[in-house]
Amino acid sequence: MTPMMGMAAGIPAMSSAQADPGGSEPAWRHALSLFGDIKYPAGFQRFDYVNPDAPKGGVARIISLGTYDNFNVAVMGVKGSIAPAAIMIYETLMSRSQDEIATEYGLLAEGASHPDDYSWVIYRLRKEARWHDSKPVTPEDVIFSLETLKKQSPFYSSYYRHVTKAEKTGERDVKFTFDAPGNRELPHIVGELLVLPKHYWEGTDSQGRKRDVSATTLEKPLGSGAYRIADFVAGRSVRLERVKDYWGAKLPVQIGQNNFDELRFEFFRDNVVALEAFKADQADWITENSAKQWATAYDFPAVTEKRVVKQEFPINDSGRMQGFVLNLRRAQFKDARLRRAFNFAFDFEEMNKQLFYGQYKRINSYFEGTELASSGLPQGQELELLETVRDKVPPEVFTTPYTNPIGGNPEAVRANLREATRLLKEAGFEVRERKLVDPSGKPVTVEILVQDPSSERIALFFKPSLERIGVTASIRVVDDVQYENRIRSFDFDIITDLWGQSLSPGNEQREFWGSQAADQQGSKNTIGIKNPAVDALIEKVIFAKDRASLVAATKALDRVLLWNFYVVPQFGYPYARYALWDRFGHAELPKYARSGLPSLWWYDVDKANRIGKRS
């Protein structure tokens, strides 16, 4: 927030939880926080963690795995494969700080105002906010963006479903009205809205054809951010260039960031090929997701000579659940005992030893790695919430701490397989001629759908374990496009899926586990959960009135999800692994930044000269 738009503009440093002392019109706020204090006051100059004197210039070459055929963010996740670089040319109304859990400061918006009951919020746009064609960002753009994203994207349709109306209420003011009071997250998540240019999408392209916001496109889109798309080779590369006259360069939320003149994204379909390109200095850094490669593949001369450095950055900004998804839309997975039996068949400890050099830890929560993860038995406020759905959840929720089976040695594996067999027999399944059949006599067959060699390795390890309990299992490897199409239409038996969790979960939980999302093609409820207890607890999460209530509600939701055995939990690693050619610098990274790449880094000419020219 510039000094002009801070205290001089009469926008006080108020948390969104604070009441309006005058009791009349709500106060304007320079920042919104879900819970707790706001660190930076109105009129602050910059975030503490940036280097305000970071040099501008240089090129960063970045590896992306996969491919792309689309720059239209309105249909990402629904049609085509989005180029990640396309997201970077746009801006949101507010920008999150990376040294606070959930606080946003003005970016496109200079301030926000909402009443104590959170029934609506008004955002006031900055007068200087501009698109790359120099036209101003307007309330009409904001309204268009909300309506378009809700219409085109199942995720945004769910995420913003409580936003019933967006309207222009002043020259630069947009008011969002909500369907009911009390949802403190709604003003906050509206601030996350990605704003698109209405005049661009309602115009025509260079060939005179009217643009279609509901379709994929490889026309370079119009943005408002610090970077624009300069050129690209479809499916293979995208080059972003820093906008020299970027309107927001001196905003407090942008000082010390966006330091590279160019960001070049190079696409590789295989991480082994990508690593070879990195070794040949055809890219400046690589994110390494393979434990095997991290342990064995970084022994080339540039590492020994310290021209390439390996770094691990702690993941403090989010939690995760990753697991084998058992599609509840398939009749055979309706019985929780079959789903639980699949978990008993999975020998994570042996897999970790054979495939991952012992680097991983088993996931035991849908909010793994955060204070939101359940453990032990429910107590206090969490127990009170669970009592309200006692008749709708497994009794073990109240009596037994959730744990995953432990394997890793023949005796433990045999015991787990015996328990799997007992559960299957209890559910009416039996083995006939070494094949598991359901109560009607139909063989239990599953196909594990994968899209890359890393996922195939994991599936190949799981397959014989399933066969030991009589399941007929196969593995199908398909390309990226087929995989995305099958996931969107829920055409699979088993996949691996990942749900990233923020430190303040809310409306997105409906998209992950809510009954309504189960029937929306393209939604993140790939499991197909339709559970009234889960729906009720999601609402408790969303309408939590303070941090303690949010934590209790999230733990209750976590516990119910776990005891329904919707997934076979896989594994995680508490660090992000990077290898970098040592030609860059950065300030001390804040707690929730992970690597901070590329926004908090810069090109260091002296370092670059020491390690030699790029290939």
pLDDT digit string, tens, across residues 341-394: 999 999 999 999 999 999 999 999 999 999 999 999 999 999 999 999 999 999
Q: What is the average pLDDT across 562-577?
A: 97
CATH superfamily for 22-27+75-201 is Periplasmic binding protein-like II (3.40.190.10)
Query: What residues contact residue 467 under an 8 Å CB cut-off, 6+ apart?
Result: 473
In this predicted structure, the answer to whether residue 12 has a pLDDT above a threshold of 70 is: no
Q: What is the average pLDDT across 214-218?
A: 97
Q: What is the rounded average pLDDT for all residues in the chain?
A: 94
397 CB-side CA count, 13 A: 27
CATH superfamily for 227-315+574-611 is Periplasmic binding protein-like II (3.40.190.10)
What pLDDT is attached to residue 47?
98
Q: Any idea where the domains of the chain sit in the sequence?
A: 22-27+75-201, 227-315+574-611, 319-570
Which residues are bridge partners to 311 per DSSP? 578
For the chain, percent of residues with pLDDT exceeding 70: 96
Name which residue leads in pLDDT, 613 or 518. Answer: 518
Q: What is the average pLDDT across 410-420?
A: 98
CATH topology identical between 22-27+75-201 and 319-570: no
Query: CA 71, CA 318: separation in Å to the nearest integer?
Result: 27
CATH T-level topology, domain 319-570: Dipeptide-binding Protein; domain 3 (3.10.105)
Task: Write out the two tokens for 301.
Answer: 């001369």
What pLDDT is attached to residue 24?
58
Q: What is the average pLDDT across 551-572?
A: 98
Name which residue leads in pLDDT, 615 or 166. Answer: 166
In this predicted structure, the answer to whether residue 281 has a pLDDT above a threshold of 90 is: yes
Q: What is the average pLDDT across 205-213?
A: 96
What pLDDT is attached to residue 615?
63
In this predicted structure, the answer to whether residue 9 has a pLDDT above a threshold of 70 is: no
* Alpha-helical segments (H) within 318-474: 336-345, 348-355, 380-387, 396-399, 410-426, 453-468
Could you read off the pLDDT of 18-42 as tens digits, one per residue?
334 334 578 999 999 988 789 999 9
Could you read off the pLDDT of 317-331 as tens digits, one per residue?
999 999 999 999 999
Could you read off the pLDDT of 43-85 as tens digits, one per residue?
999 999 999 999 999 999 999 998 999 999 999 988 999 999 9
What pLDDT is attached to residue 22?
39
* Alpha-helical segments (H) within 437-584: 453-468, 480-488, 508-513, 532-542, 547-563
What pLDDT is attached to residue 283?
97
> Smallest Cα–Cα separation from 275: which of 292, 259, 263?
292
What pLDDT is attached to residue 1?
26
In this predicted structure, the answer to whether residue 15 has a pLDDT above a threshold of 60 is: no
In this predicted structure, the answer to whether residue 243 has a pLDDT above a threshold of 60 is: yes
In this predicted structure, the answer to whether residue 514 has a pLDDT above a threshold of 80 is: yes
